[in-house]
Amino acid sequence: MPSTENVEMITPSQSRAARALIEWTQPRLAEASNLGLSTVVDFEKSRRQISDDSARAIQAALESAGVIFVAENGEGPGVRLRKQPALKR
């Protein structure tokens, strides 16, 4: 079973995958994480190293939208959506 504990720092590919899961654009992520669009774009394209604070802001914004980051655990890092509560009928 994959671990969701102790994900040190998200990767650019995890950020892209997480955005796809929740159907967010890069501008939406930049707004939600209070960062400039160029920071998000550069991070996701691995153009430059961003600060740890910026990476944590991106991760926090995505997690608040329901994304769970899965640790490396030998299979490679990943993402998934938080389970939604069942609707009462």
**Three-state SS annotation for the chain:** CCCCCCCCCCCHHHHHHHHHHHCCCHHHHHHHCCCCHHHHHHHHCCCCCCCHHHHHHHHHHHHHCCEEEECCCCCCCEEEECCCCCCCC
5 has a pLDDT exceeding 50 = no
In a domain, 33, yes or no: yes
Supply the range of the domain harboring residue 29: 12-81
- Provide the domain count of the chain: 1
Q: Residue 9's pLDDT is what?
A: 85
In a domain, 89, yes or no: no
Mean pLDDT across the chain: 88
The CATH number of residue 30's host domain is 1.10.260.40
Q: Which tens digit of pLDDT belongs to each residue from 25-35?
A: 999 999 999 99
